Structure 1
Amino acid sequence: MPSRIRTAYDRRLADGRLTPDPSQVPVVEALSRLEKDLRKKAPLGGLFGQSAVRGVYLWGPPGRGKSILMDLFYACTPEPRKKRAHFHAFLARVHDLMRQWREGDAKTRKAVFGQSKGDDPIKPVAELIASEARLLCFDELQVTDIADALILGRLFEALFEQGVVLAVTSNRAPDQLYLNGINRELFVPFIALIEAKCVVVSVAGARDWRLDRLMGDRVWFAPADAACRAAFETLWSDLKGEQEECPAHLKVLGRDVVIERTDGGLARATFGQLCGAALGPQDYLAVAERFHTLFLEDVPVLGPANHQAARRFVTLIDALYEAGTRLVVLAEAAPEALYREGVGAFEFQRTASRLNEMAGADWLARERAA
């Protein structure tokens, strides 16, 4: 009997919603195996070896269909206690729960965690998460922060002891996570744990489906009329996964920069949110490094009255350009018509040239900066 994900995948191939890709076959097989293992029951009716079920770690370059297949797996698996989230959102919640444990009195701890004793928050946080879900499905596992690196090994050891099973996507192989990070030797046990508890599958297809979708359409939509807005929305919907959008929190020089609408490596923001606010070069560098594609909407025609926003826009584009971050824009005009008068208008011609280059096929196809 074929698994549910295999049946759903074959159905999407047949109706044209997916295109055959040999690199996805081992992914579907690995997820089918996990789906079946999660269903197994012990002879006496208990769950069959919860802690013994090996999860799946899918890794490979962006655009190879990892998130789409994870969406499909999550929708198909009959496991009732399951959670789907971006890894950054999961970590943000873990940090918040740890804060609640450290700051809470006995009554508050009891209300949130069902227990109150002890100073170490790892065990109660892991037990709370395990009580909510047996299966955790994550997108975009990456580790860049020393605080995250130091807690992950202990946290996931506690989660696996509780029988939690992991299905995750990442752009990096496990042994490449937190590469060259501070005190990386303290993070290495987490890598060994992931390799022991998950089957690692490389998704190394030559074809970038997300890039194909971007290059099959324009990425600069102007003017911002109903037709262009609808096309912009369609492209966003096509590129992002089926799960709900969530905010991303970027730590920049001790500040919390929030991008409200994200889906893994995709981000969406208005011109006012990024260029009308008091953000600077370090903030834009953090955005460019965190996301592979930025959807920027409601870019107005600028003039002398908003020259500061124009200057921020130039800084943002420079950061995106240097990082190789792809840009999709809904604007009132073409790049060269956005800022013709005001302080720095002459220099803006360079930004307009970059924007036109960033909308071209050659630039879209180039590799992101390391």
Structure 2
Amino acid sequence: MAPSATVEPKSRQGPVRSALERLIQSGEIESDPIQRRLADRLDALDRRLSAEVGASKKSALGWLFGQKRDADPVKGLYVYGDVGRGKTMLMDMFFRQSSVAAKRRVHFHALMGEVHELIGEHRRAHKNGEVKGDDPIPPVAARIAEKSRLLCFDEFTVTDIADAMILSRLFKALFANGLVLVATSNVAPDDLYPDGLNRPLFLPFVKVLKEHAEVFELAGEEDYRLAFLGEEDIYVETSDPAAGQRIDAAWERLLDGSKETTASLSVKGRTIPVPRAGNGAARFAFDDLLKRPLGSQDYLALAQRFHTILVENVPVMDEAERNEAKRFITLVDTFYDAGKRLVVSADAPANELYQGRSGTEAFEFDRTTSRLFEMRSREYLEKASAREDARS
């Protein structure tokens, strides 16, 4: 349990801190002094933004036209820390109660996908003589900032060289347009895009980021999402009348109060849709993940992006489902090797999932069965959390 901390009088608490205290008082989360400090920082940021809104009073975009450029700019906040520390929960509390009208909450990868689309639109328009200027970054940044004074995004991680190469110029332009950023990540700014191709060209972005956003480490050891995710939650047989409820309950614990969204990954030009995602976890139906022509690189990308994958309704397979069985073997191997968590609901025990007798799949599925048993053990779950912490 986290150490106790003095609770401020309710009259002095901001909305984020008050919402956090309600969760603590209800027993939904543990008392955590570092979370309280972050809540207070977020409330302080909202007070500055609220004062600015009150000064303009003209429209949702009054800040854009009424702000003095020589005034002390409002600095955003970059929050990083271990998986499960409540970063997304607190950011979402801040976003919901913020008085800023021109605000947006988006996943980092979704934003970058939008940016690349806007860049493509500008280049096509320039080619057709519809716009002047062949540099797409200033107009793209202006379009984004025009709609959003406050931008909140979750799971800031840079793995794509195309993103890395434009981030510095893009965000320099966004900040110049008055945008305020609140972001969460598992890593400190200096550790973004580690060992990435042409990383020296990415480093100016880190400087720009730290100039326009204060850095807050939400340190700690306990992973709140996994504290109540035990062996019985990792592999659920659908023959259990309560199987659906158990899987839904596990998913809610993984979300830990975060909003469920959709997401996508780009792997070598292919797009992998993620129908349900949140708080570093992803949820798939078997057909969505194992009946599609995906391979080891796709599953590795999922393992790099998410700490936990939940796969529902895995059927019993035989020779007729050899391709699906092969993909399932690859999925399990990839997540096992990466030390990530795999939550499964299936139509049979792990050692009865593959009924085929010919080909290599029968032999290989023996290893998959062994790994599925190991991956639901408390020892594996604790090691998975430790490996995630080491990477953060």
Correspondences of 1:121-200 after superposition (within 5 Å): 121-200=136-215
C-alpha distance in 2, partners of 1:122/1:78?
29
Name the counterpart of 2:106: 85
Given the alignment of the two structures, is residue 65 of structure 1 paired with residue 86 of structure 2, yes or no? yes
| CA displacement, residues 158-199 of structure 1 (integer Å, 9 cap, x when unaligned) | 110111000000001001111221111111111011111111
Tell whether the 8 Å contact from 1:210 to 1:239 is kept in structure 2 after alignment.
yes
Given the alignment of the two structures, is residue 368 of structure 1 paired with residue 387 of structure 2, yes or no? yes
C-alpha distance in 1, partners of 2:197/2:116?
19
Name the counterpart of 1:354: 371
C-alpha distance in 2, partners of 1:334/1:42?
58
One of 95, 103, 113 as aligned partner of 2:124: 103
Letter in 2 for 1:247: A
Considering only aligned residues, what root-mean-square deviation do their CA atoms show, in Å?
A: 2.2
Deviation (angstroms), 1:224: 5.2
Identity, % of aligned pairs?
Answer: 42
Deviation (angstroms), 1:144: 1.0
C-alpha distance in 2, partners of 1:42/1:134?
10
Deviation (angstroms), 1:29: 2.0
Name the counterpart of 2:31: 20
Deviation (angstroms), 1:43: 9.4
Correspondences of 1:1-370 after superposition (within 5 Å): 1-41=12-52, 45=56, 47=63, 52-104=73-125, 116-215=131-230, 218-223=233-238, 226-240=241-255, 241-252=257-268, 254-343=269-358, 344-366=361-383, 367-368=386-387
Deviation (angstroms), 1:57: 0.6
Letter in 2 for 1:96: E
C-alpha distance in 1, partners of 2:116/2:200?
22
Deviation (angstroms), 1:6: 1.4
Aligned residues: 363
C-alpha distance in 2, partners of 1:212/1:317?
23
C-alpha distance in 1, partners of 2:49/2:214?
14
Letter in 2 for 1:248: S
C-alpha distance in 1, partners of 2:253/2:89?
11
- For residue 28 of structure 1, give the secondary structure of its aligned residue in structure 2: helix
C-alpha distance in 1, partners of 2:344/2:220?
28
Name the counterpart of 1:112: none
Tell whether the 8 Å contact from 1:224 to 1:330 is kept in structure 2 after alignment.
no
Tell whether the 8 Å contact from 1:31 to 1:73 is kept in structure 2 after alignment.
yes
Deviation (angstroms), 1:146: 1.1
Deviation (angstroms), 1:301: 0.8
Query: Unaligned stretches of 5+ in structure 2?
Result: 1-11, 57-61
